[in-house]
Amino acid sequence: MGVIKKVVIPTAGFGTRFLPITKAQPKEMLPIIDKPVIQYIVEEAVASGIETIIIVTSQSKRSLEDYFNFNFELENYLEKTQKKELLSQIRHVTKIANFVYIHQKGPYGNGTPVLNARAVVGDEPFAVVWGDDLLISDKPRLKQLIEIFQEYQSPVLTAYPVDSEGTKKYGIIEGEKINSKVIRVEGIVEKPGPWRAPSRIAAIGGYILTPDIFDALEKTQPGKNNELWLVDAIFKLSQKRTIYACLVDGKHYDVGSKIGWLKANIELGLKHPQIKKELKKYLKDIRI
């Protein structure tokens, strides 16, 4: 199969876990230090060799499109005031990749935005990453998945170790470990809890999918909450071909949740060259 050059990023959700701020502010645009979450996701994709970013969005999230578009007034101001470093950062954002925007149509569920991207993706393998799912690693998560895909030429999920509490939050992978990095997936048990969990390996955001997922999605009936779920279509596809999972290296943050977003800001802030010393001192001195 071909090289992975496209990624689909669903962003049309309401962000209910962050209400009321997400009534007017997309959760994907919430800042981690000085960049929105969506920029981290896009930069990970580009660092993995992705060239086309397909953002499936809604009319209420115009700021996502504006963020990656050229802003003449701002660039002109930064150029006139000799703020060269800021100007470079702004231009980097607009030139980082080719962007395609699709307004989501169809039933609720995370399978719908993937199906909406069919015409743009075409008949080639592609990546999917959620717009609020951050994984910081030396080797980008998608690059890790792509390497496994290139070896096995089948869909690859992101696998990540969790504790007992994590079995209540994520789908847990059931399968056979092929080596230290790869699992042959036999099933995913949705949020089973520690007693029913078949493993302590979760399926989190990040996929390399083959184009036959689109036919599987079209044939998949709405599931939980009458929504179209991507994992249901992947399970349907697994009846015809082998599905793999890659145990990724890195630190995962669910930045669609308040605590995940706070943890990401604190931990990445402690690595940020401009603020790490002051933040570290503050955290040492703080009294609750």
Domains belonging to the chain, first-starting first, are 6-250 (3.90.550.10)
Instruction: Give the model's pLDDT for residue 120.
Output: 96
- pLDDT at position 266: 97
Three state DSSP letters for 225-244: HHCCCHHHHHHHHHCCCCEE
pLDDT of 171: 87
Residue 189 confidence (pLDDT): 85
- The pLDDT, as a whole number, for residue 191 is 85
Rounding to the nearest 10 degrees, give the CA dihedral for residues 10, 11, 16, 19.
160
Could you read off the pLDDT tens digit of each residue along the chain, which spans 288 residues? 668 999 999 998 888 889 899 988 899 999 999 999 999 999 999 999 999 999 999 888 889 999 999 899 999 999 999 999 999 998 999 999 999 999 999 888 889 999 999 999 999 999 999 988 899 999 999 999 999 999 999 999 999 999 999 899 888 999 999 999 999 999 888 889 999 999 999 999 899 999 999 999 999 888 777 889 898 899 889 888 999 999 999 999 989 899 999 999 999 999 999 999 999 999 999 876
List the one residue out of 132, 141, 164, 145 whose CA is nearest residue 256. Answer: 132
Question: The whole model's pTM is what?
Answer: 0.92
Non-local (6+) Cβ contacts of 245 within 8 A are: 156, 157, 158, 159, 173, 175, 182, 183, 185, 201, 203
